[in-house]
Structure formats: C-alpha cells, structure tokens
A = this chain, B = another copy of it.
C-alpha cells in the first residue's frame, strides 16, 4: 500500500492544479457514486459534480494550500484528506479561506473521489 501521506499530497497537488487550469478535466476523478457538498449544496455523480464546478462564476482561480492532513479511513486502502488554504478568484486581491475534505478510494493503481465537502470559512 502506498504511503497515505504521499498519496494525499500528490492528489491535492494534482486536484488543484487541474481545478485552476481547466476544471472540466476533474471529471475522471469522480465516479457515479461520488458525492460533492459545495457550500451546503449537494451533487452526486461525476457529471453533475463537474457541471457544478465548471459553472462556478469566475474566470480565473488559484488555490493556495496551507495544510494537508491525511489518515487511512479503513482497512481497504481508502484515505481521508483534509485541506485548508486560500482561494483567489479573478482580479480579487483578498484571498478567501477555505477548507475541503476528500475521501479517496484506490482503484487500479490510482484513486478516485468518493466524498468531497467544500466550505469557504468566513471570519
């Protein structure tokens, strides 16, 4: 089994690089059983999740990662990943803080996202 911290770091790096460059390309990370809760709104399935992410009302986006924490979530190689960071959209100068939790499932040498929960953190 791959080291779960290494998997988490590689996943997070790939996820946000893809999100910030072309979020349509996130589709293969989700499956029919995947769930996204985005600011309290629920979506399920790769297509509905990607549609939501692509429809977010900004042209430019950059995620700056502050922390990545990971733990094995059961005996079959699934991994829980919790991320905190800052989000910069379009020409906005003030970053927004966010937290996001992923639950990753191993499959064929890679991982897909079963659970995804995203929240902006307001002071």
Chain A contacts to B: CB under 8 angstroms? 35, 37, 40, 66-67, 69, 71-74, 78, 80, 82, 84, 97, 99, 101, 103, 114-115, 117, 119, 121-123
Contact = CB atoms under 8 A, between A and B. Distances in A.
Secondary structure at chain A's binding surface: helix, strand, loop or mixed?
A: strand
Contacts of A101: 80, 82, 101
Contacts of A71: 35, 37, 115, 117
A10 to B, nearest CB: 18
Contact of A121 (B78, B80, B117, B121): B121
Contact of A37 (B35, B69, B117, B123): B69
B82 A121 contact: no
